[in-house]
Amino acid sequence: MSTFTDDEITAALSDLPGWSADGDAITKTYEFADFRAALDFMNRAAGPIEEMDHHPEWTNVYNRVEVRLSSHDVGEVTSRDTRLATVLERVADAS
C-alpha cells in the first residue's frame, strides 16, 4: 500500500469518471433512479468492501449516495482508495 502525491491522485482520477480530489480524500456523488436503487447499490457494494477490508464514508439522501474515500490509518489517499473507487464504479455500472 502506498500513499499518493497530488499528481498521482490526478492521474488515477483520470480513469475514474466523476471522482475528484477533496483534501485528504477522493469523492463522488452517485445518483440513482430512486431510494431503493441507491440502497441496492450500497448493499451490493458491501461484499466487495468487506473483502477489501477498506470502508467508505458514505451518506445516502433519497436517490443519492455521497462517497468519500480516505485511508484513515494514514490520513491520506492510498492505492486502497483508488482500488475501492474502481470497485464501486463496477458495482454502480451493474445497476
Q: In this chain, which stretch among 9-17, 23-31, 64-72, 86-94 interacts with ligand H2B, using CB under 6 A?
A: 64-72
CB distance 63 to 32 below 8 Å: yes
Distance from C-alpha of 25 to C-alpha of 8, rounded to nearest angstrom: 13
Distance from C-alpha of 44 to C-alpha of 38, rounded to nearest angstrom: 10
Q: If binding means CB under 6 A, how many residues of this protein chain bind ligand H2B?
A: 7
55 lies in the site for ligand H2B, by CB under 6 A: yes
Which triple of cell numbers denotes residue 6? 497530488
Compare residues 15 and 73 and give the one whose CB is closer to ligand H2B.
Answer: 73
**Which residues here bind ligand H2B, judged by CB under 6 A?**
53-55, 70-73
